[in-house]
Structures are given as C-alpha cells and as structure tokens.
C-alpha cells in the first residue's frame, strides 16, 4: 500500500496513523516492532509501504496515547485495554500488549457519530426488543463482527425513546453516552468494579431498568445476566459465538451437567431474542455491510429450548414469523439488492444450498 511521507514529530505521529486508517476505511490497525503498520481493510490485512517500526520509536508512539496511570498499569500487567478519543467522528478501542517481549498495539476504529439502526442494517425487530421492560436480548457473532456497535446503538435508541435507568458494565467503556430521556450509568471493569460478575451483582442494587453487559465471558457473568433478566430487567449482552443456536448451546454448556436442565428452563422463560451478525465486504466501495440472523423466543422456540431440541429451532427461524430470519435469508437478500457478490454470499453461508440468489 502506498502512503504519504509521515511527520515523525511526537505530537502528530499517532494522529497520522489513525487518519490514514480512517481515510482507507480500515476496521483495525496493527503496530508492532519489526513490521510496518498493517491495516485491516474489508477484512484483508494490508501492510503500508513504510519501514518496519523500531522499538524505541514505537514505544514513544504508543506512550503518547497513555495517561500516567495507564502506563503504570501496562508496565505492571503487560496488557492494557482502553478507549481513545481524538475526533468527534471516531473513537478507538485500543489493546497494548507484548509480542516476543516487544511492545505492540492493536486498534479497532469505531464511529462516534450515531446512525439509525436502519442505517446500520440492524433488523427492524430489534427496535421492538429494545423497548421491552424485561428479558434477555443477546447479540452474538465472531470477533470484529460489529456486536459492540449494534449494542451501543440499541442503548442510544433506548436513551432517546424511553425514560429508564440504564447501567452498563464494560471492559473497557466503549462509547461515552450523554443521558437524554434515560439516565445512563457506565461502569468499567478494573477501575469501577473488579469483574463483570461483580459489576452485574451490584448493578441490581442500583435501581436499574436496563442492564447492559459488554461481554459475557464466564459462568459468573452469564449467571448474573440471567438473574437480572429473571428479576424483571431488560438485559442486553454480547457473546462470542458463530451463530444464534450455538450461542444458546454455549450458555447452557458453561454450567455443570447437573444444572443444565434447570438453566434450559430459566433461559427459555427469560430469553427475548438472539441476533447473530456478520460484517461482509460491500460489492462496490471500501465499506462493509451487515448480515444478520434473528431468533425470536416465541412460544415454539421456548418449548424447543426446554426440551433441548435446538436442532429444530432453525425451522422456526425459516418461517420468518415475528421478524425471524436465517443467515442464508439475509445473505440472499443482500445479494439480490446488489450489496454483496455471490462469492461472498456463498462463503458466509453455513448452508449454501439454502441460498436463494435469483431475483
């Protein structure tokens, strides 16, 4: 990748790398000793035509972004996650770490300006789900598939349309909200609470209407999220999972075998929906487009979860009732609208034979 000459003065150099990332519509930026800057553009890792980083220079670049407290934390733990703001239009999710003993950094580029849920491509049923008074609403997908962006926009939709107290538990805080119709309290794991589980436990004592879990990572956080939904709160959470049905499996499997039947019942009674996401390269341009599958917990789906008949859930999704859809239906629609290529549709379909690509 060709690039302009970079100014190596300390106060401008990190901004230049970030501006280049934004200008090239990159989703991520990787900086490491012995390599040039590498951007991820439309899912493809793309190195810049620049010399490899020397350690002293890269450490200076990275340390420009850190507070004294963050520097001390990184030097103690060798890992650091934080959000970095320098523009009204974008913020950055940053991880600083070591690779073979040398400092390195990965940056996720996140838009600051709110879009509508429709502009993001989030299924319309999500609006209705976000306004429910209680229940468990899951956003799932692999890493880098836009789960956090969807979660942030759902919270902002509630903020604009409902009087509610919203408590978020995040690691790190991804986006700083301004309270509008809702009162929003944001808590960061590490600085405001010791863990997701602890943050959720104490959130329930703070009079919330909506509880937002940045990421369910373990039994403790999953258990507390389910408890929050069961006790009459709307819970919005993200989970790393390739698809909606596998997400249900993962939640149940995290429990000991003798507890799993009880958890199936608890999940069946409190689940609102699971939305699974993929971000795909656009057919024309440098951006990405959202594809999604939607599982709504209607009476039939709840019964299938209770009976551990998860393989039958896909049949319910295929009906399209109550806003449900499979990933193959979403991919087919995006292809017919000219937003993705046939190759992209087929490569992201779990069941390619179920694609309907003819107009």
In this prediction, residue 173 carries a pLDDT of 86
Q: What are phi and psi of 6, to 5 degrees?
A: -105, 140
- Confidence tier at 313 by pLDDT (50, 70, 90): very high
Burial of 242 (0-12, 13-18, 19+ CB in 10 A): middle
Per the CB < 8 A criterion, the answer to whether 158 and 168 are in contact is no
What the chain holds in terms of domains, given with CATH numbers, is 13-111 (3.30.450.90), 117-354 (3.40.50.300)
Cβ neighbours of residue 250 under 8 Å, at least 6 residues apart? 239, 241
At which residue do the structure tokens 């090239």 appear?
24
Q: How far apart are CA 21 and CA 2, in angstroms?
A: 13
**Separation of first and last alpha carbons in the chain:** 37
Surface-to-core class of residue 37, CB atoms within 10 Å of its CB (0-12 exposed, 13-18 middle, 19+ buried): buried
Tell me the percentage of the chain whose pLDDT exceeds 90.
79
Give the pLDDT confidence score for residue 359 in this predicted structure.
61
Instruction: Classify strands 38-41 and 28-32 as parallel, antiparallel or unpaired.
Output: antiparallel
- Res. 151 pLDDT band, cuts 50 70 90: very high
Query: What is the predicted pLDDT for the residue at 111?
Result: 77
Structure token pair of residue 116: 């509508």
**Average pLDDT of the residues in 288-317:** 97
Mean pLDDT calculated for residue range 192-196: 92
CB within 8 A of 113, min separation 6: which ones?
88, 89
Residue 288 predicted with pLDDT over 60 = yes
Position 43 scores a pLDDT of 86
pLDDT score at 1: 47
Cα 111 from Cα 345, distance rounded (Å): 26
311 beta partners: none
* For range 82-88, the mean pLDDT: 79
Residue scoring higher pLDDT (10 or 133): 133
User: Could you give phi then psi for residue 8, rounded to 5 degrees?
Assistant: -95, 10
What is the pLDDT at residue 190?
85
Task: Tell me the percentage of the chain whose pLDDT exceeds 70.
Answer: 95
For the cut 90, the answer to whether the pLDDT of residue 285 exceeds it is no
DSSP characters over 72-90 = HHHHHHS-EEEEEE--SSE
What is the pLDDT of the chain when averaged over all its residues?
Answer: 92
* Pairing outcome for strands 165-170 and 135-141: unpaired
Q: What is the pLDDT of residue 10?
A: 43
């Amino acid at each position: 990748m060709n690039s302009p000459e970079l100014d190596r003065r300390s106060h401008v150099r990190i901004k230049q790398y970030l501006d280049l990332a934004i200008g090239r519509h990159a989703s991520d930026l990787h900086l490491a000793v012995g390599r040039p800057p590498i951007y991820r553009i439309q899912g493809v890792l793309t190195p810049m035509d620049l010399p490899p980083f020397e350690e002293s220079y890269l450490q200076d670049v990275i340390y420009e972004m850190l507070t004294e407290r963050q520097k001390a934390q990184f030097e103690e733990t060798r890992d650091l996650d934080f959000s970095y703001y320098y523009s009204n239009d974008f913020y950055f999710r940053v991880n600083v770490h070591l690779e073979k003993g040398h400092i390195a950094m990965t940056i996720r580029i996140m838009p600051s300006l709110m879009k509508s849920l429709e502009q993001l491509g989030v299924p319309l049923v999500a609006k209705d789900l976000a306004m429910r008074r209680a229940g468990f609403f899951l956003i799932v997908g692999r890493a880098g598939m836009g789960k956090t962006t969807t979660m942030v926009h759902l919270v902002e939709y509630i903020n604009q349309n409902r009087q509610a107290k919203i408590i978020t538990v995040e690691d790190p805080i991804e986006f700083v909200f301004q309270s509008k119709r809702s009162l929003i309290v944001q808590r960061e794991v590490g600085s405001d609470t010791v863990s997701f589980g602890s943050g959720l436990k104490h959130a329930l004592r703070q009079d919330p209407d909506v509880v937002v879990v940045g990421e369910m990572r373990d039994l403790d956080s999953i258990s507390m999220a389910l408890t929050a939904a069961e006790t009459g709160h709307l819970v919005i959470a993200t989970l790393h999972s390739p698809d909606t049905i596998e997400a249900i499996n993962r939640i149940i499997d995290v429990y000991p075998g003798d507890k799993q039947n009880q958890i199936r019942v608890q999940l069946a009674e409190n689940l609102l929906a699971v939305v699974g996401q993929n971000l795909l390269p656009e057919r024309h341009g440098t951006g990405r487009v959202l594809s999604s599958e939607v599982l709504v917990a209607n009476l039939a789906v709840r019964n299938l979860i209770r009976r551990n008949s998860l393989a039958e859930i896909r049949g319910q999704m295929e009906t399209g009732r109550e806003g449900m859809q499979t990933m193959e239906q979403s991919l087919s629609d995006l292809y017919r609208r000219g937003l993705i290529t046939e190759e992209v549709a087929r490569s992201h379909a779990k069941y390619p034979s179920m694609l309907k690509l003819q107009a």
